[in-house]
Amino acid sequence: DTAVSQTPKYLVTQMGNDKSIKCEQNLGHDTMYWYKQDSKKFLKIMFSYNNKELIINETVPNRFSPKSPDKAHLNLHINSLELGDSAVYFCASSNRGLNTEAFFGQGTRLTVV
Amino acid sequence: DQQVKQNSPSLSVQEGRISILNCDYTNSMFDYFLWYKKYPAEGPTFLISISSIKDKNEDGRFTVFLNKSAKHLSLHIVPSQPGDSAVYFCAAGASNQGGKLIFGQGTELSVKP
């Protein structure tokens, strides 16, 4: 009964391809996030959705498009993948406005070759 | 512009001794702070947090201290155990930022038996 689960855990793909990463949370949280951990190990927020509404978009290239079909799911679709997109992507969830901790998924290691 | 900094990339401590991990921040708007622990190939796991209205929060072997005037926080682990070996991330958030967390670059703690 994983709280925040994302699939796949590993993804290797060629430049120019389009890929999606899925995320689901069963914690009843109203806010979900995507974070990116780059090669220098910095964890940086990309997007945040609250009740299916985009509330944070951190100057991410528009090749990245998050989609939230309901408040328990936040998927990340990436078009025209580039070498620089290689990173670990983490999904997270929390309850907005309560200053509580965010719960993270196990990460998806994306490698673009 | 790194708003949250962990200047020590690594720390090695003997089992049973105290581990002290440090974190500095620059943004005065941050009003809550968190520590996460991360094992390889897993997502960050929440450890402990502190609100800006407090200067100390304790949970078992883990204590977080906040010095607002110095914009500095620290995590004390005592006694340290080999299972504590992991990367520790400091994170900060502001109540009006929709749950967005700004992370430091992490400190790798190694606790030696």
Verify whether the Cβ–Cβ distance A96 to B98 is below 8 Å.
yes
Verify whether the Cβ–Cβ distance A43 to B89 is below 8 Å.
yes
Q: Please write the tens of the pLDDT for every residue from A36-72.
A: 998 878 899 999 998 888 888 887 899 999 999 998 9
B98: closest chain A residue by CA: A96
Residue A55 lies inside a defined structural domain of this protein: yes
Q: Please write the tens of the pLDDT for every residue from B7-22.
A: 999 999 999 999 999 9
List C-alpha distances in Å: B11 to A109, B20, B51, B59.
26, 9, 26, 21
- pLDDT-derived band of residue A96, with 50, 70 and 90 as boundaries? confident
B4: closest chain A residue by CA: A42
CATH of the domain at B40: 2.60.40.10
Q: What is the average pLDDT value for chain A, to the nearest integer?
A: 91
From B46's Cα to the closest Cα of chain A, the distance in A is 7
Range of the domain at A10: 4-94+104-112
List C-alpha distances in Å: A2 to A24, A83, A106, B3, B99.
9, 31, 10, 32, 21
Partner residue facing B49 (CB), from A31, A44, A101: A101
Residue type, B5: K
CB pairs under 8 A between A and B: 62
- Other CB atoms within 10 Å distance of the CB of residue B25: 23
CATH of the domain at A58: 2.60.40.10
How many domains is chain B partitioned into structurally?
1
How many domains is chain A partitioned into structurally?
1
Range of the domain at B98: 4-112
